[in-house]
Structure 1
Amino acid sequence: MFTPTSSEFMALCREQVCFLTRGLGAASSVVYLSDRPFDGEAGKFVPVAIEPETGTHWSEHREAIELPQGKHHSLEAALLLPASLDRALSTDDFDRPDEERRVWLEGYQIVRPLTHEEAILGFLVTRRQDRPWIDREREQIEGVARTLALACILDRRAQWWKDSYGQQQQLHDRQRDLFDNLLHQLRNPLSALKIFGKLLLKRLKPGDTSQNFVQNILRESEHIQELLQQFDRVMDESPAGRLLPGEVREIATVVTPAEEPISLPAAGDRVESIALASILEPAIASARAIADDRQLQLYDRVPLDLPLVRANPLALREVVDNLIDNALKYTPAGGCICIEAGMEAGTEDAPFSTRSLLLAISDTGLGIPPEDLEHLFERRYRGVQAQGDIPGTGLGLAIVQNSLTQMGGSIEVFSPPRHPWPNPNFPASLSRGTTFVVRLPVSQA
């Protein structure tokens, strides 16, 4: 595969072949570069600069060529110019017998390989037909070849360093995203731990010796939360952290395979048949305690006879925790939250490979503006909530979508709420609130 060259190197090549024409009277010159410049093999050669540069010549002769067999000194007698140039330069000399034509070419054509540490980078071909080259001119052409070889090495090294930097930057970004994911996921259980500690402290009678232990738990929880906030500040102050979504770094373009979504460790591993209720029951129990503390009504409708789903238990738990946490966070006091699960309508009798189980989490909270819906699953996107007082990172829903995609599931969002099944706890005409619908593949086991 031919390695792209910089515009600066291309300009240098053009200037050098123009010098051969204007300064030394060359009738035609071509610079070829190898498609395998650093592996010690000659490979094929692609023309990158040609003089005279006419549209016909350039467009018809960009195909790669191979060196003829033999040592370098035999190249002088090879027909290495594009065929159209050979025809344009043909004289009676080309009608001579092969041996006489070879002698003529060796006098009128010069071929100089562009080499570095025994690797062939390319070669320079220049020819004229009115007179043979003299020694002084040959020395000048040698200088042009050395200049091109050195410039090619510097250009390829610069490109390699740019590509290497770009790859390192991509690796850094992926590590940063994973670190952000871990910090984000740590906040959910920490918030629950603080709320449970406060609820427990309220239930203890005055003078109970357990109060000191609970207060210590709360104090250390606050300390951990402060440390997490410091992490956020440090990351935001770094050059990478200050970049906003959509901003572009001025680095070399690196062509790499499509990257897999950033997810937590083991999020895509160990997909197995599990009961959705085993994930929902502890999550609902924790959410109910938090909802009571925040004066929210929480309803759940999770049938016990649901089929198993194919999912990763750890990843699915994070999906459920993130969605429930959002419902709790963005629903004001007096609101309602409903967690429902069931078969997708119309798939009950379908083949197992096409059956889906739905999980719907609805709330009567602030809702999502239409202009934010299409960007809701982008990393760090918070939309209108970024101007509000409710803290957030804009990572949770991106983590949810990536995890579900890796498990073969999907997610949809509706605002105002739209329920997969009739729901007596939510009026059909509700104009505020949100419903997230998770679709999971049913296990065939």
Structure 2
Amino acid sequence: MPDGGLCVPVEYNGVLAGGVVLCPLEGAEHQWTEADFERADIVAKSIALGAALEGKWHQNAWMLHSGRSLIDSMRGLLATTLHQVRSPVSALVTFGHLLLRKLPPGDPNRTLAKNVILEALRVNELLQPLDEAGDAHVLPEANGVPWYQKEEDEQPEESVVGVVPKHTGYGWAEEDGMQLIWLSDVLVAQAERSEFLAGECGMHFVAEIDDDSPPILAVEKHVRETVSSLIDNAIKYSPRGATIGIQSVWREEEEEEEEENEMVDVVVWDTGYGFSEDEIEEVWDFGFRGSAAVRSGAPGSGIGLSAVQRMLQSSGAEISLVSPLPENLDPRSPDSGERAMRPGSAFTMRFKRPSR
């Protein structure tokens, strides 16, 4: 090199990555020896090896991060599915006991009812080891075939949706997975199921479902799951003697009365312990359990409301919570001391109608 410098290439696995340049002090003359060449070569190889190891470290760190993300997603899917499966399993046990009460002694169907209960309990036992699977962060996108079938002669008018829909057997589905859903079909079935469950827990159940509600555009499975989850939570965390209710209403926006701005609301309410002002914003956080859940002593994971919000958002819907329970929903007397002890709460799910 000019000025008496020495340059040694930095090479690793046949790849030239740079070089090590050694220069004598300014104004000094230096004669490079064989030992200098050997030391410079060792330095160059050490730098090359260090760079290669650093690259491997970054690659392994990325792979580890990706693996952890995948594991977290799988744990989330498993935990969320586990949470959603437990409600129907518990309902099967309750319905089995109700069936046993109605069947007279000696009826051969009693054995069948007992077997249903035993198998449901067995499923619950098999799910028990999965409780430690982890936290739920990811909800699967669901677009399965609905299990309620609309009568063939009750198809919606073609003018309801401005695009050509796809027939699903239940209603009409948009290409993005949304469906036209008649809420009365879903809510009546949920109300019948919930009335039995509430009665078994010593609670009252009230259903006010508007049969004339217009159809909404949403994912049918998500609507069914969210309504079921909210009612199950109300029953689970309310004391005996409380009242659980579901109400569906549709209205037009106050500012504009055009038909495309009509909204359909579904309200699930209860006269239970309610939520404090601080808890109202936190109930949607994963793993959060309110004071009512702790006071009731019922076990829980804090997944339910977070899952409900995610499913509704995937259907383009909104959900809000108010506590205490509004007076127009509360069946108790305004002077009742129960209101102070159990302020109650109401969850409102708001769905938009499809544009004509």
Please report the TM-score for the alignment, with normalisation by the length of structure 2.
0.78
Q: How does 1:177-188 map to 2 (within 5 A)?
A: 177-188=76-87
Q: Which amino acid aligns with 2:186?
A: I
Report the structure number with the largest CA radius of gyration.
Answer: 1
Question: Match of 1:290, SS?
Answer: helix
In structure 1, the residue matched to 2:239 is 332
Give the 3 Å change call, closer, same or farther, for CA 424–172 of structure 1 in structure 2: closer
In structure 2, the residue matched to 1:266 is 142
**How many corresponding residue pairs?**
316
Pair 1:400-2:308 in alignment: yes
**Aligned mates of 1:119, 1:415 — CA distance in 2:** 68
In structure 1, the residue matched to 2:273 is 366
Deviations 1:352-380 (A, max 9, x none): 66553221111001222334333212222
Give the 3 Å change call, closer, same or farther, for CA 159–291 of structure 1 in structure 2: same
**Aligned mates of 1:428, 1:123 — CA distance in 2:** 86
Deviations 1:77-96 (A, max 9, x none): xxxxxxxxxxxxxxxxxxxx
1:319 CA drift (Å): 0.8
Pair 1:156-2:32 in alignment: no
In structure 1, the residue matched to 2:67 is 168
**Structure having greater relative contact order (Cα 8 Å, sep ≥ 6):** 2
Q: Which amino acid aligns with 1:425?
A: P
In structure 2, the residue matched to 1:293 is 200
**Aligned mates of 1:309, 1:111 — CA distance in 2:** 74
Give the 3 Å change call, closer, same or farther, for CA 141–280 of structure 1 in structure 2: same
Pair 1:117-2:13 in alignment: yes
- Tell me, yes or no, if the aligned pair for 1:358 and 1:438 is still in contact at 8 Å: yes
Give the 3 Å change call, closer, same or farther, for CA 168–122 of structure 1 in structure 2: farther
1:396 CA drift (Å): 1.1
Pair 1:380-2:278 in alignment: no
Q: How does 1:233-312 map to 2 (within 5 A)?
A: 235=132, 241=134, 262-266=138-142, 270-312=177-219
2:349 is aligned, of 410, 413, 438, to 438
Give the 3 Å change call, closer, same or farther, for CA 226–108 of structure 1 in structure 2: same
Q: Which amino acid aligns with 2:67?
A: Q
In structure 2, the residue matched to 1:108 is 5
**Aligned mates of 2:301, 2:31 — CA distance in 1:** 71
Q: Which amino acid aligns with 2:73?
A: R
1:388 CA drift (Å): 4.8
1:325 CA drift (Å): 0.6
In structure 2, the residue matched to 1:415 is 323
Give the 3 Å change call, closer, same or farther, for CA 146–228 of structure 1 in structure 2: same
Residue segments in structure 2 that go unaligned for 5+ positions in a row:
145-175
Please report the TM-score for the alignment, with normalisation by the length of structure 1.
0.64
Give the 3 Å change call, closer, same or farther, for CA 348–333 of structure 1 in structure 2: farther
**Aligned mates of 2:77, 2:56 — CA distance in 1:** 31
**Aligned mates of 1:158, 1:262 — CA distance in 2:** 29
